[in-house]
Amino acid sequence: MTYPTAILFDLDDTILDTTLSADRLWSRAAEHFAKHTGLDATAFDVQMKISREWFWSDPQRNLAGRMDLYKARAGCVEHALKTLDASNNQLATSIADWFTERRITEMKPFDGAIDALHSLKQANVRLGLISNGKGETQRDKVIRFGLEPLFDCIILEGEFGIGKPDRRVFDHALSELNAKPADTWMVGDNLQWEIAAPQALGIKGIWLDWRGTGLPPNTNITPDRIIRSIAELVV
């Protein structure tokens, strides 16, 4: 297999271990607050996964939430506590604060991800980073993990003003990288944003199945390729 002219990457759950590191930190929050309050650690931990899934699965909540992560976190905690019949505004705020203080330092790139990006750059593949979310938060991660020098084009939703799956984001990346859609890949974990949307423009969609669970049974989206890690892109 040869490389295309350009590869566009998603950031969270593609380069960075975002969801699993959040899972680990929410579990620690559950244990911490169980020790100091009457919270049932196991029940809260299980319910937080369900509440987060509920929160982020709705496109409207997702858009508002990624622009105000603290509010989103507090909303998920409130939802979880309410579901457990343990509503407590003060506790909800304390848990959201505790999590927020630790969130960025808990996050890490996936094993081999940064090395893979270096290899692709050395092979003269033009690299683009397209990430949805608040500009400040996403830019912090880009700097923290040394990603800026690796990418020829970085489009962050909060800075650019438009996010995936809007085609203008992909059009802008192609123009910045001087690449044709047919000679470009988009790599990411979100089937709508990083497979269906770019495929509609003629870009190849490579799905990053970081969970290793395969495609959801009810999807009608067919990625051009499925990988478990971006290290698999290096030939």
Decide if residue 189 touches Mg ion (CB under 5 A). Answer: yes
Distance CA 24, CA 161 (A): 31
Among the listed ranges 41-49, 63-71, 181-189, 211-219, the one in contact with Mg ion (CB under 5 A) is 181-189
State in angstroms the smallest separation of the CB of 27 from Mg ion: 21
DSSP annotation string for 16-68: EE-HHHHHHHHHHHHHHHHHHSS--HHHHHHHHHHHHHHHHTSHHHHHHHHH-
Buried b / exposed e over 217-230, threshold 16 CB at 10 Å, is eeeeeebeeebebb
Amino acid at 212: G
Distance CA 15, CA 109 (A): 6
- The residue (of 16 and 96) whose beta carbon lies closer to Mg ion is 16
Decide if residue 13 touches Mg ion (CB under 5 A). Answer: yes
State in angstroms the smallest separation of the CB of 19 from Mg ion: 9
Decide if residue 12 touches Mg ion (CB under 5 A). Answer: yes
State in angstroms the smallest separation of the CB of 133 from Mg ion: 9
- The residue (of 19 and 100) whose beta carbon lies closer to Mg ion is 19
Among the listed ranges 45-53, 103-111, 189-197, 199-207, the one in contact with Mg ion (CB under 5 A) is 189-197
Among the listed ranges 44-52, 172-180, 188-196, 224-232, the one in contact with Mg ion (CB under 5 A) is 188-196
Question: Counting beta carbons within 10 angstroms of the beta carbon of residue 208, is it exposed (0 to 12), middle (13 to 18) or buried (19 or more)?
Answer: buried
State in angstroms the smallest separation of the CB of 169 from Mg ion: 14
Decide if residue 10 touches Mg ion (CB under 5 A). Answer: yes
State in angstroms the smallest separation of the CB of 146 from Mg ion: 19
Question: Counting beta carbons within 10 angstroms of the beta carbon of residue 125, is it exposed (0 to 12), middle (13 to 18) or buried (19 or more)?
Answer: buried
For Mg ion, the binding residues (CB under 5 A) are 10, 12-13, 189
